C-alpha cells in the first residue's frame, strides 16, 4: 500500500474533516479544549499529544466548578463562555463546509455538565441548522468522584434533550456489568453462541433494523476494528438509575443550597426530574409496544401451525 511518511495514503483522504493542514505537512486538530481550571490543560500540554493542538484553542479559567452544575452553567462558566465561543467561531470560519459540532464531556462534575450544556445551547443558538452530536459520559456510583453526580447528570439531560441532535451515551458501569456479571466473561469478546442462546429475545418483525458497512482501511497500528452504534430501549435502565438517585437526594433537599447559592431555582430541579421521568416513560412505552407486537406475532405463528 502506498505510504506517506509511514502512513497509508488512504488514511489521509478525509483527514481534513477533523484536521487542518498546516505548514510542512503538519496536521492540527479542529478542536477547542476548555475547562474551568488550568490543571487539565497543563496535563494535556505536557502529554504526548500536547504539541499537536493550536495553543490559542486552550481556553480555561482559574477557579473550577467545584462539581457544581450551577457554577458551570450560570456563574463561573458564564464568565468564560464568550472566550470559548470566539475560538469556536474561528474554527467554524476555517471550515469549507461546516456540517456540525461534536462535544465530548462528562456529566458527573460541574464543568462538563454545567458549562458543557451551556456551550451546547449557545452553539445551537448561533448555528441552528448544524448538527449537534455529544459524547456524554454518565456517572456511576461504582466510579464516583462526588455525591452530587445524579444532580449534575439529570440537570444535563434536561438540556441535552432540548439542544442535542444525537447523544452517544457512555456508561462504564453498563459495560462492566454486561461483560463480567451478566455474560460471565473474563475476556470480553463477541461469540455467535451468545446470540444463538438469546435469539428469542431479538425482534424478528424488523428485518432491516441493523445497517452495516465495511471500511477496508484499518486504524493506524491495528489490523482491524469494529464499532456498533445502537438505540435500544434498554438505555432506560441507566436513566432510571440516575433518576432514582436524583429523587432520593432531592426529596431530602440534600446539598440543594450549593446550587441555589449560585442563583438556581428549585423549580429547575423539579422540571429536570420531570423531564428525566418522561424520557424513561417514553422508552418504556416503546418497549411495551414491542412486547405486545411480539406476543401477537407468536400467537399468529401458533395459529398458523394449528391450522
Instruction: Give the per-residue pLDDT at 296.
Output: 65
3-state SS of 35-74 is ECCHHHHHHHHHCCCHHHCCHHHEEECCCCCCCCHHHHHC
* pLDDT at residue 172 greater than cutoff 60: yes
Give me the mean pLDDT over the 279-303 stretch: 74
Give me the mean pLDDT over the 11-23 stretch: 86
Provide the whole-model pTM. Answer: 0.82
Share of the chain above pLDDT 90, in %: 60
* pLDDT at residue 13 greater than cutoff 90: no
pLDDT in tens, 108-119: 999 999 999 999
Report domain extents, the chain: 31-211+234-306
DSSP E strands in the chain: the ranges are: 3-4, 7-8, 19-21, 27-29, 33-35, 58-60, 100-106, 131-137, 166-170
Q: Which fold has domain 31-211+234-306?
A: Rossmann fold (3.40.50)
pLDDT in tens, 38-90: 999 999 999 999 999 999 999 999 999 999 999 999 999 999 999 999 999 99
Amino acid at each position: 500500500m502506498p505510504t506517506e511518511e509511514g502512513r497509508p495514503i488512504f488514511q489521509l483522504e478525509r483527514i481534513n474533516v477533523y484536521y487542518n493542514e498546516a505548514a510542512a505537512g503538519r496536521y492540527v486538530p479542529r478542536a477547542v479544549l476548555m475547562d474551568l481550571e488550568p490543571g487539565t490543560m497543563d496535563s494535556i500540554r505536557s502529554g504526548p499529544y500536547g504539541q499537536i493542538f493550536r495553543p490559542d484553542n486552550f481556553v480555561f479559567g482559574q477557579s473550577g466548578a467545584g462539581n457544581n452544575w450551577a457554577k458551570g452553567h450560570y456563574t463561573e462558566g458564564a464568565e468564560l463562555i464568550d472566550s470559548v465561543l470566539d475560538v469556536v467561531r474561528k474554527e467554524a470560519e476555517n471550515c469549507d463546509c461546516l456540517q456540525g459540532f461534536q462535544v465530548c464531556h462528562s456529566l458527573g462534575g460541574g464543568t462538563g455538565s454545567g458549562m458543557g450544556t451551556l456551550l451546547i445551547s449557545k452553539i445551537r443558538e448561533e448555528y441552528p441548522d448544524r448538527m449537534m452530536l455529544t459524547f456524554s459520559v454518565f456517572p456511576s456510583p461504582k466510579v464516583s468522584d462526588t455525591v452530587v453526580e445524579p444532580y449534575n447528570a439529570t440537570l444535563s439531560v434536561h438540556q441535552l434533550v432540548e439542544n442535542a441532535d444525537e447523544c452517544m451515551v457512555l456508561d462504564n458501569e453498563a459495560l462492566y456489568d454486561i461483560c463480567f456479571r451478566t455474560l460471565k466473561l473474563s475476556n470480553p469478546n463477541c461469540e455467535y453462541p451468545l446470540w444463538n442462546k438469546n435469539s428469542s429475545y431479538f425482534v424478528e418483525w424488523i428485518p432491516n433494523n441493523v445497517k452495516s458497512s465495511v471500511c477496508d482501511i484499518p486504524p493506524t497500528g491495528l489490523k482491524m476494528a469494529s464499532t456498533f452504534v445502537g438505540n435500544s430501549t434498554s438505555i432506560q435502565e441507566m436513566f432510571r438509575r440516575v433518576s432514582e438517585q436524583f429523587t432520593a437526594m432531592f426529596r431530602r433537599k440534600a446539598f440543594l443550597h450549593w446550587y441555589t447559592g449560585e442563583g438556581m431555582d428549585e423549580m429547575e430541579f423539579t422540571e429536570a426530574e420531570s423531564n428525566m421521568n418522561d424520557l424513561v416513560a417514553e422508552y418504556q412505552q416503546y418497549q411495551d409496544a414491542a412486547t405486545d407486537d411480539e406476543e401477537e406475532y407468536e400467537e399468529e405463528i401458533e395459529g398458523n401451525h394449528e391450522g
